Amino acid sequence: MTTGAYSMGLGDSDAERLKLLGQFYDPASSAFLEAAGVRAGDSIVDLGCGHGGVIERIAARVGDDGAVYAVDASADQLRIAQARLEHRRNVRFIHASIEDNPLRGRRVDWVYCRFLLMHVKDLDIALAAMANMLTENGALLLEIADVGSLTFSPADPASDLWKPWWYALGRARSLSFDVAHRITDALHTAGFTINRRDRQQPIASTAQAKLVHALGFEQCTNAYIHEVGADPRQIEAHRQYLHRVLYDPTITIALFENTQYIARRSRRT
Ligand SMILES: C[S@@+](CC[C@H](N)C(=O)[O-])C[C@H]1O[C@@H](n2cnc3c(N)ncnc32)[C@H](O)[C@@H]1O
């Protein structure tokens, strides 16, 4: 199991960004879990749980009679999640890739994952692995980020410079950065029926919102320069733009769209 192709920082180096991410996306994730019907006593796995932001909410929801499996391919990420959740007795931490049968054949009522699938190499293999973790009546709960939908307003010649580099990096590492545009077809191919789809996009003018992007951008600049040939002067132009707008309340950022899917395996007739 490896996190070699993973594009963002791991462990402490991504703590601030993931915390801010949670500030903008956790409330909708909570509402999603509630709307899906996750309840006391259920079993659920969070794949690519990161620092465990959503696990906290999941563990409270299923209670001590429920079972939560927190899976991540990175030991550094899990270490932070584990420290944060040591008071929860119903969470088990598993250091594994989703493709490597992390539950060892065990099946759960819900397979949940947020902002993971863009980082996998093969969407079909990942979805097949998820299908294998579900009980017969279980459901898949996906939160899918469309990173390219992130925009600044009003736009500036330097505000979107990062987008071609981001997608080029995904192609260079054979990752699924275009997952938001492929997930519907991929779910059908994997034998899932989509029961429900909701979308939200946080829009704000605060420095915290802009930092979600700025911190992520800084984590990728080396790869942009060395792996996809980004011009360092253009990197600097975007960096300077971010410095200019960070505390400017007249500039708004629409963070990436998050589409939430509830999907179940289609019944064979
Ligand atoms: C963008 S973070 C999202 C973390 C968390 N789900 C959240 O929303 O805050 C993606 C996480 O997926 C993990 N990851 C990446 N590829 C993985 C794989 N193939 N199997 C398991 N975890 C993976 C990374 O280590 C990282 O912690």
Enumerate residue ranges in the chain where pLDDT < 70.
1-4, 268-269
- Give the domain 12-265 fold: Rossmann fold (3.40.50)
Output the pLDDT for position 9. Answer: 81
Cα 1 to ligand 1 centroid, rounded to whole Å: 13
Q: Which atom of ligand 1 is nearest to the CA of 77?
A: 27
Q: Tell me the whole-structure pTM to 2 decimals.
A: 0.95
Cα 25 to ligand 1 centroid, rounded to whole Å: 15
Output the pLDDT for position 149. Answer: 98
> Tokens 């960096």, residue?
239
Output the pLDDT for position 20. Answer: 96
